Amino acid sequence: MSIVKSKAPAYIPSIIPSSDTDMFQKKGGMGMRMGFGRKPALLNVDVTKGFVEKRFDLSCGKAGEKCVQQILRLLQKARRKKLPIFYSRNYPRFGAEAGRWPDKGTGSSKSTLMRTEEAHTIVPEIAPKPGECVITKSKPSAFFGTQLVSLLNYFPIDTLIVTGLVTSGCVRATVVDAFSYNYRVIVPIECVADRGQVSHEVSLFDMDMKYADVIPLADVLCYLAGLRG
C-alpha cells in the first residue's frame, strides 16, 4: 500500500491572521501533507476521568465529552482493523515525582479528587481491552521516560494516529516527540479537546504547519476502511 494523503486543506482557524498563514505557507512552504504510511497505530492520550468528567477541577467539560464520543468511533474502526492500540495516562504525583509541575500550578491541583487514582483512570466509554497497551507517564509527552518507542518498533509502526486531551498540552507534546522519532503523525480534528478554545485552535494550526496532518475524522476513517484487517 502506497502513502495515502488527505485532500483536506490546511487547518487554519479564523483566529489566525493572514500574515501568519502567509509566513508559514507562502514563505515557509509549511503545512504540506505527510500522509498515512503502511503500518498505523492509534494512541489515545490521557482520556481520563479527571480531564473529561465535570466534577474534576481539570476537566475539559463539554468539549471533552464530545471528544470521547468521536474517539469511540475511531476506536471501534481501529479495533475492527486490528490496529495496535495504545493509551497514555498520568498518575498522582508527589514530591520529586511531581518535578516542576507545581512550580507552574499545572497538574498540581489541591483538589482531593485530582489526587486520587480515579482521576487518572481512562474513561469507561473507551476503556482498554485485553492486549491494548496503557503507558503510564509523569510528563506531558507519552514518549518521555516510557517504553512507547520500543512498543511501536515491535509491530513495527510508521504512522501514529494521536487523539486525546489536552490539545495544547499532552497531545501537542506527544505529537512533537512522535514527529521527532520520524513517525508519520495524524491528528483527527474531532478527536482532541482542550480546556481553552484559543489554545486548542492555535495548537492545531501550529501542529498542522510543522509536525502532523491535522485532518477531519472522516478522512482517517476512510483510510482505515481501505486497510486490510
Q: Annotated catalytic sites, by residue?
A: 170
Q: Is 90 in contact with 48 (CB distance < 8 Å)?
A: yes
Taking only Cα atoms into account, the Rg of the chain, rounded to an integer number of angstroms, comes to 17
| Residue 177, all three cell numbers | 516527540
Q: Is 204 in contact with 177 (CB distance < 8 Å)?
A: no
- 3-state class (DSSP) for residue 33: coil
- 3-state class (DSSP) for residue 70: helix
Q: How far apart are CA 188 and CA 195, in angstroms?
A: 18
- 3-state class (DSSP) for residue 206: helix
Count of C-beta atoms within a 10 Å radius of residue 8? 15
Sign of CA pseudo-dihedral 56, 58, 62, 68: negative
